[in-house]
Amino acid sequence: MPPIKERQMHRIHVGVVALSAVAVASASAGVVQFMASDGNKLFRADSTGNVDAPITLSAHIQSLTFVPGGFSIPGAGGGNIVACAADPVAGKWAVYRVDDPAGAATLVKIGETSFSVGSLAFGTDGMYGVDASASPIRVRKLSSTDFSITQSWSTGVNVTGGGGLAFDRTNDRFLLTDYPNNRLMSWIPGNNATNIGAVGFGFLNNGLEFIQGDLYGALRPDSPNNTLRFGKFDTSTGAFTTLATATGILGNGTGFVAIPAPGALALAGLALVAPRRRR
C-alpha cells in the first residue's frame, strides 16, 4: 500500500506478534531479543542495543508472528514463528513457518491467505490480520484451520493498510499504529480505535508486540529512513523509547518479533539466542 508520507515510493507493511503464554509466564526480567524483517532481509537485535548483521531469506515477508502456547494452526503450533508473504502468487499470499530463526532462518510454506496480510496478531480466540490494501484500516479474523476470513471490522483509522497490531491481554484490547499522524491507538473489535498518544517522531513501516505487559516495536523513522528503531512504548502516553537501531533498511516491509529472556526460550521450544555484536 502506498505510504502518504513517502510520495508513493514504497509499500507500507506491518508485522505484528503475540507471545507464547509459556514464554511469557516463564521469562524473568532481562534482555529482550528482537527480530525484524525488511523485505527478504532478517535483522536481529536486543534490548541492550546489540545488533547483528542481517541475513537473507528465500522470500519477501511483511509479518512475523510468534504462535502462543495453546494455539495450533496448519503446520505450526505454540512456540513457532510464522510469517506472511509480501507478494502474491496466483492471487494468494503464502504463510510460512520460520525454522531455525537464529541461524539460517528457513521459510517453510504452511498455507496461504486470500488477501495481503500486513500485520498478524493472536487474540484470545484466534488470529487477526490487518488487510494491507484496505482503508480505513480493516482487521480480519482468520480461520485456524485454513486461514480463510471469518469476520471483518473497520477500525475507523483512515490509513491504507498501515498500523502495527498487538493484543493486550491484560486490558482485552488491540493496539495499533496510525502512521500518518505518528500515534498509538487502542482498538476493540466492533468499535472505532481511540487515540492513546503521540509516538514522538514520524515513522512509516512498523511492527508491535506485547511481552509481560510491555509493548515493544520496530519503527522505520521518516529520517533517516534507512534505519529501523527497536524499542518500547509507554502504553499510557504512546511515547516510544529507542533501545537499538539497525541500518540498511529499504522500506520493503517490517515484520517484528520480540522474545523474552533466554531462559524462557527453551521452555517455548525455541533456540533463538545467538552471540551478538554491537553495531
Q: What's the mean pLDDT when you consider all of the chain?
A: 84
What per-residue string of b and e applies to 104-126 under the rule 16 or more CB within 10 Å gives b?
ebebeebbbbebbbbbbbbbeee
Backbone angles phi, psi at 181, to 5 degrees: -105, 5
Q: Strand 194-198's sheet: what is its strand order?
A: 165-168, 173-178, 183-187, 194-198
d(CA 234, CA 198) in angstroms, rounded, equals 10
Per-residue model confidence (pLDDT) at position 215: 96
Segments of 47-193 assigned E as strands: 55-66, 72-73, 76-77, 81-85, 93-99, 106-113, 117-123, 126-131, 138-142, 149-154, 165-168, 173-178, 183-187
Locate 15 and state its grid cell: 508485522
Give the CA distances from residue 259 to residues 81, 239, 268, in Å, rounded to whole numbers and listed in that order: 11, 21, 10
More confident residue, 74 or 9: 74
Residue 277 pLDDT > 90, yes or no?
no
Percent of the chain with pLDDT over 70: 82
> Residue 211, CB half-sphere, CA atoms under 13 Å: how many?
26
Q: What angle do CA 129, 196, 11 make, to 5 degrees?
A: 40
CB 150 within 8 A of CB 139: no
Which is it for strands 254-259 and 240-247: parallel, antiparallel or unpaired? Answer: unpaired
User: What pTM does this model have?
Assistant: 0.84
Locate 102 and state its grid cell: 537464529
d(CA 149, CA 144) in angstroms, rounded, equals 10
d(CA 39, CA 28) in angstroms, rounded, equals 32
Residue 156 pLDDT > 70, yes or no?
yes
d(CA 76, CA 110) in angstroms, rounded, equals 8
Backbone angles phi, psi at 100, to 5 degrees: 50, 55
Locate 68 and state its grid cell: 502462543
Contacts of 25 (CB under 8 A, 6+ apart): none
Give the CA distances from residue 270 to residues 23, 120, 140, 171, 195, in Å, rounded to whole numbers and listed in that order: 10, 20, 28, 28, 35
Summarize pLDDT for 49-99 with one digit per residue, the tens: 999 999 999 999 999 988 988 899 999 999 899 999 999 999 999 999 999
d(CA 68, CA 85) in angstroms, rounded, equals 20
d(CA 178, CA 197) in angstroms, rounded, equals 10
Summarize pLDDT for 211-258 with one digit per residue, the tens: 878 999 999 999 999 999 999 999 999 999 999 999 999 999 899 989
d(CA 197, CA 237) in angstroms, rounded, equals 5
Residue 162 pLDDT > 80, yes or no?
no
Percent of the chain with pLDDT over 90: 68
Mean pLDDT throughout 179-191? 95
Per-residue model confidence (pLDDT) at position 262: 54
Per-residue model confidence (pLDDT) at position 161: 64
pLDDT band at 103 (very low <50, low <70, confident <90, very high): confident
The residue type of 230 is F
Mean pLDDT throughout 174-193? 95
